[in-house]
A and B are shown apart, each in its own frame.
Chain A
Amino acid sequence: MSATLSAPVPAARRIRRRWLSPLLLLLPTLLVMAYAFIAPLATFFEYSFYRFRRGRLEQVFTLDTYSRFLFDDYYHLIIYDTLRMAALVTVLSLVIGYPLAYALHRITRPSIQRFLGLLIFTPILVSVVVRSYGWIILLSDQGPVNWLLLRLGIIAEPVALVFNLFGVVISLTHVFLPFVVFPIFTSLQRIEPELKEAAEDLGAGWWTTFRRVTFPLSLPGVVAGAQISFTLALGAFVTPAMLGGGRVFVLPLQVYNATSEINWPVAAVGGMVLLIISTIAVAGFNRALKYSEVR
């Protein structure tokens, strides 16, 4: 619009300006990305091809560290534990997150919907360290959960709920729940109400309507939620470190420990394995997302 009204600008200058402005606007961000993202990742990648022997870093190109990682049962177990933890967290957060998103979607009174929404999303504002600490107290031997189970007579003596896989999975589910509820809620909100009405008019009961109409149409949200919680769980460090009690030795902890022990090549290879697993997971979920949208 403005171009037609203002005086004609020479073509060469116009083309240069068309490129110059966005480049200048993007430049600070691109510089930060190059300096604090690309260069560090390149360094990280480089260290994965070095070797650490007899307490010393050897800066020679070698695949030793990779092959040690890939053929050692110790590291296989770490990878297996990481995948198992992420899978458990994903399943549990979907099991809790789906009905919660559905409730948030079905509540028609705006004040209650607003309240529930705030309740679900407020924990994001509180530090993960604080939330994990809360779970340590909740699940400890003398804590409220054991107290309740004892009072109800379900158990005779306190059971170990924390400093093991159980505690980590529960706490991570709590941390990721908002990220699972949000995409499911979004896809539920997008469903045209006419579709449900049509199903009900055609004689389908609520269960059939849910199973054949609502649930399939909300699948993209489920897949997106699973993607977020699985990939976040793969990279989780604070919660497994605090609530794992040394029994949940996942890849991020291995990377942290190796770095602390100045064994950078092993840290770098562990991180690369984590990155590769994450990438495969993201790609797999993207594939599932496409499939879930087609139906």
Chain B
Amino acid sequence: MAAQAHRPAGTPWRYIVLGCFTVAASLFIIAPLAIVVLNSFNNVAYTVFPPQEFSTRWYANLFQQDIFYAAAWRSIVLATLSTAIALVIGVMAAYALVRYRLPAPNLIKAFLLSPIVLPKIVLGVALFMFFVRVRLIDNYSSLLVTHVLVILPFVIALVSASLANFDWTLQEAAMDLGAGPVRTFFRVILPQISLSVAIAGVLAFITSFDQVETTIFMVRTGSNTLPVEVFLYLQKWQDPTIAALSTLLILFAIALLLLISVMVRGRKLPFIPQRAGEATP
């Protein structure tokens, strides 16, 4: 709050300029999402602004298209399964990274996080070539392990950041009182890092749900995930059916956002930077 003491009484013009810029940038951020929602109620099949007439016919059309329904279901199942697996093995790996003295810990961590850095299209094509070679291309396990690989780094990064801030005397106290390592983990450590694990889970789910490049070669017509189905549909048609579907996806994102904000209410996140010099209670 030290900055406020130096602020003059009248708002200087530079703050007005910054304020206007911020509003414009906010519009820039919101616009592509808002226009999708608006266009989903547009009566005609082509884009026209401002819309002449409103209708819900594209929603009716969407609900008649079984391919999107099936693809959405497939994506939800895949994202749920891969998130569950990645959370379990990712928390284990993060625990090992933070709690044990490993040889070259930074190198191991960099290696475990490296799938994030790799261009996704390279990863997707490499996985495709590999699974074709081992003749597992049409196997569900290939798709599942691909998604686990893509979301694991997010889980490991977030959970190890949270574990690094953990007060380990608690663990020692529990162990001294006779709790075994597994019981200590579930009763003492996990409740403390549950918020980060939950956020990692939400992020992992979204990331899996959003995969195009890594998945597009792995699926066939009739077994597409939702983003791949939408991507391929948009290559051919651009009617507002996709806008209606996208609106539902945006609502889904807003629901997730509300979920996260309820979870973090009044709690401090280990990875959100605080202002320097501000007292941390």
Please name the residue on chain B nearest to A117 by beta carbon. B272
A143 to chain B, nearest CB (A): 5
Give the contact-size bracket for chain A.
35 or more
A210 to chain B, nearest CB (A): 9
Contact present for B126 and A44 (CB under 8 Å): yes
Given contacts A5-B176, A26-B96, contact A271 B32 (CB under 8 A): no
Q: Which of B96, B125, B227, B275 contacts A129 (CB 8 A)?
A: B227
Give chain B residues whose Cβ lies under 8 Å from the Cβ of A267. 125
Given contacts A193-B276, A274-B119, contact A133 B175 (CB under 8 A): no
Give chain A residues whose Cβ lies under 8 Å from the Cβ of B273. 185-186, 189-190
Please name the residue on chain B nearest to A128 by beta carbon. B210
Give chain B residues whose Cβ lies under 8 Å from the Cβ of A282. 117
Give chain A residues whose Cβ lies under 8 Å from the Cβ of B201. none
- State the main secondary structure of chain B at its contact with A: helix
Q: Which of A99, A143, A186, A206 contacts B21 (CB 8 A)?
A: A99
Residue A67 at the chain B interface, CB threshold 8 Å: no
Contact present for A40 and B119 (CB under 8 Å): no
Contact present for B156 and A29 (CB under 8 Å): yes
Within 8 A of B (CB), among A38-61: 39-41, 43-44, 47
Residue B77 at the chain A interface, CB threshold 8 Å: no
The docked-state distance in angstroms from the alpha carbon of A40 to that of B129 is 7
Interface string of A184-198 (1 = CB under 8 A from B): 011001111110110
Q: Which of A26, A127, A171, A235 contacts B93 (CB 8 A)?
A: A26
Given contacts A2-B172, A36-B148, A134-B246, contact A190 B92 (CB under 8 A): no
Residue A33 at the chain B interface, CB threshold 8 Å: yes
Please name the residue on chain A nearest to B24 by beta carbon. A96
Q: Which of A26, A102, A242, A259 contacts B128 (CB 8 A)?
A: A259
Interface string of B150-183 (1 = CB under 8 A from A): 0010001000000000000100100110000000
Q: Which of B's residues lie within 8 Å of A, judged by CB?
A: 1-4, 6, 12, 14-15, 18-19, 21-22, 25-26, 28-33, 35-36, 39, 46-50, 88-90, 92-93, 95-97, 99-102, 108, 111-112, 114-115, 117-123, 125-131, 133, 145-146, 148-149, 152, 156, 169, 172, 175-176, 206, 209-210, 212-213, 216-217, 227, 230-231, 234-235, 238, 242-243, 246, 249-250, 253-254, 256-257, 261, 273-277
